[in-house]
Structure 1
Amino acid sequence: MKIQRITSPEVTEPAPGTWSNCLKVGDTVYVAGLTARDRNLKPAGGCEYDQAKLIFERIGHLVTAAGGTMQDVVKINIFLTRIEHREEVWRARREFFEGAFPVATLVEVSSLAQPEILVEIEAVAVLGHGGRPA
């Protein structure tokens, strides 16, 4: 089973030799920690809700490019610079998942790549296993 790099035209790729945004191994998809940045890698979105929504959209693009859907996402790790704003991230999350939500970790961190970046989210999906029970 070979490791396959997955890309989407909707998600800006990192510079060569740094990391991969998404790798597929068999039917498992690993999405690196994504942040809300525009095509020029400048921070995008203002509050935690806006940033989380943009990140979940990008996760969806990568999982779709790998052959799955957001319903195949089984785990997410969320890094947040202001834990008191976690409800905003959860509100965005509810727009992308239903039924039994993915297992999740939420961690407050002192900072992310740039001061304007408030949220980073990574995900794992198992393709073809969507359709969560309640």
Structure 2
Amino acid sequence: MTAQKQRVRSDAVREPAEKTWSNCLRIGDLVTVSGMTARGADGETVTGREYDQSKVVFGKIRSLLEAAGAAMDDVVKMTIYVTDISNNTEVWKARQEFFDGDFPACTLVEVSALAKPEILVEIEALAVAGCGSAR
């Protein structure tokens, strides 16, 4: 039987405009989360440096994963985009507050800009529901 694609929503994460992208999809046990930024429910970017924004982003990822029936410990791969790589330790500091045990595979790259000038961090995640040790 072929796994069905299911769009996942969370009240904690603002949905994008119709016909643009999905924040989160679940296909069988695979859960993919689009690049999340520190935009709040009102669409405004949460102010702060990389640490503050990363905490907001990881919180949004956790909310989407939980809505999909997965957990942060199920994340197997992340891609992190930052506008200033010299502040990467701020992202790692926030990440340590959301992950335990074996951390996911991860790529961190510096980009010249994100969607808005005040956005400093964008993170996408790939998870396999039920694979983490917390289960």
User: Of the candidates 112, 115, 118, which is equivalent to residue 113 of structure 1?
Assistant: 115
* Distance in 2, Cα, partners of 1:45 & 1:101: 27
Cα displacement (A) at 1:40: 2.0
Cα displacement (A) at 1:4: 0.2
Paired AA for residue 103 in structure 2: F
| 1:38 alignment counterpart | 40
User: Of the candidates 124, 127, 134, which is equivalent to residue 126 of structure 2?
Assistant: 124
Identity in percent: 55
| 2:61 alignment counterpart | 59
Paired AA for residue 87 in structure 1: T
| 2:18 alignment counterpart | 16
* Distance in 1, Cα, partners of 2:68 & 2:111: 30
Unaligned runs of 5+ residues in structure 2 are none
Cα displacement (A) at 1:13: 0.5
User: Deviations along 1:72-113, whole A, 9 cap, x unmatched?
Assistant: 011110000000000000000000111110000000000000
| 1:2 alignment counterpart | 4
TM-score (norm 1): 0.96
User: Deviations along 1:50-88, whole A, 9 cap, x unmatched?
Assistant: 000000000000000000111101111000000000000
Unaligned runs of 5+ residues in structure 1 are none
Partner of 1:23, secondary structure, is strand
User: Of the candidates 72, 79, 82, which is equivalent to residue 80 of structure 1?
Assistant: 82
* Distance in 2, Cα, partners of 1:28 & 1:66: 10
TM-score (norm 2): 0.95
| 1:103 alignment counterpart | 105
4+ aligned runs moved over 3 Å, structure 1: none
Paired AA for residue 69 in structure 1: A
Partner of 1:90, secondary structure, is helix
Partner of 2:54, secondary structure, is helix
